[in-house]
């Protein structure tokens, strides 16, 4: 007896420690145990009470996948109208069985804030339904898959008519654009001095006097009067966009004076045709 009493006394502290660490069973609101399918959300409500008093959770359960069938989507602590605290756990079903099957919503243990026994939530069995039948239906007309039905060929008449209308509209657009482009070229030749000069200079070489004279007349027409080497600024005052080619125009007048008044063509290679074309391009941009 003395030895038995000594053994009991020796194990009492250990038994007391184990009792203090044993979690309390949680009170859980009933969950519908049947009729669940892939994607359904199961809400589990746990009353936060232990040993007749309120229970403070040390750390909320982590979100994420829980086992093969469920994923914990949200955890929240709420109070009911009587002031009792509840922990609301929402699980979503993430798999579908091939046939009606019973699965388990996993249990967990909540640690108490400040230490002491926790709160144990028991696992809950639930029946899960498949999203489709394993086998095909046996009723007439609902059996195995059948060959695809060939689509009806579209009537060619409406498509051909639409194609004709499209090609006709395209032809009209192209004809209108071509006519506008030709009209614009004719208008430029009739109204723009350098465009008129370019028509004449295309038939000339750089050494022909007719080309040099045509460029002189175009510059005079653009300046509104006769321009020589000493009055080039008159052209730039009226048409400042030509100042980009001031060096080439100055060079043209210097070589032109040598050609027509000094009776020598000069050794400087110069192309009045290239200058006329550059001036014509500037002229067209500023006439739009």
Q: What is the pLDDT of residue 152?
A: 83
**Which pLDDT score, from 0 to 100, does residue 16 have?**
46
| pLDDT (tens digit per residue) in 167-190 | 999 999 998 888 877 777 676 666
Quick one: tokens of 124? Answer: 């809950």
Report pLDDT for 224: 81
Tokens of 132: 């489709």
Give residue for tokens 């020598």. Answer: 264
List the helix and strand counts (H, then E) for the chain: 7, 12
Q: What is the DSSP string of 115-176?
A: SS--EEEPPEEEEE--SS-SS---STT-SS--PPPPPPPPPHHHHHHHHHHHHHHHHHHHHH
Q: What is the sign, positive or negative, of the torsion defined by CA atoms of 249, 255, 259, 260?
A: positive
Break the chain into its structural domains and give their ranges. 23-128, 187-285
CB atoms closer than 10 angstroms to residue 50: 21
CB-count exposure of residue 280 (10 Å: 0-12, 13-18, 19+): buried
Give residue 91's pLDDT.
Answer: 94
209-223 and 193-201 helices, crossing angle to 10°: 180
Beta strand 119-121 with 24-25 is: parallel
Contact status, residue 267 vs residue 257, Cβ threshold 8 Å = no
Host H or E run for residue 186: helix 156-191
Tell me which residues of the chain have a pLDDT lower than 50. 5, 8, 12, 14-19, 267
Q: Residue 279 and residue 235: Cα distance in Å, rounded?
A: 12
pLDDT in tens, 265-287: 554 578 888 888 888 888 888 77
The answer to whether the CB of 122 falls within 8 A of the CB of 25 is yes
């Amino acid at each position: 007896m003395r030895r038995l009493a000594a053994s009991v006394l020796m194990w009492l502290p250990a038994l007391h420690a184990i009792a203090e660490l044993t979690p309390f069973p949680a009170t859980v609101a009933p969950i519908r145990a049947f009729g669940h399918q892939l994607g359904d959300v199961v809400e589990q409500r746990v009353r936060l009470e232990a040993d007749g008093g309120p229970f403070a959770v040390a750390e909320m359960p982590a979100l994420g996948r829980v086992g093969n069938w469920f994923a914990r989507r949200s955890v929240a602590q709420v109070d009911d109208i009587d002031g009792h605290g509840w922990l609301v756990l929402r699980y979503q079903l993430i798999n579908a069985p091939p046939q009606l099957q019973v699965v388990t919503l996993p249990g967990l243990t909540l640690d108490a804030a400040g230490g002491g026994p926790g709160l144990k939530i028991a696992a809950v069995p639930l029946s899960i339904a498949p999203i489709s039948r394993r086998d095909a239906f046996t009723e007439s007309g609902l059996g195995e898959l059948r060959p695809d039905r060939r689509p009806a060929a579209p009537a060619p008449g409406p498509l051909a008519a639409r194609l004709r209308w499209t090609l006709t509209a395209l032809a009209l657009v192209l004809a209108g654009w071509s006519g506008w482009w030709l009209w614009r070229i004719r208008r430029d030749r009739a109204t723009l001095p350098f465009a008129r000069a370019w028509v004449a200079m295309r038939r000339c070489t750089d050494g022909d006097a007719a080309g040099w004279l045509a460029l002189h007349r175009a510059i005079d027409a653009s300046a509104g009067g006769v321009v020589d080497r000493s009055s080039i600024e008159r052209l730039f005052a009226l048409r400042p966009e030509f100042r980009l080619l001031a060096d080439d125009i100055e060079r043209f007048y210097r070589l032109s004076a040598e050609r027509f008044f000094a009776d020598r063509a000069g050794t400087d290679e110069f192309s009045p045709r290239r200058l006329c074309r550059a001036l014509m391009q500037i002229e067209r941009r500023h006439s739009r």
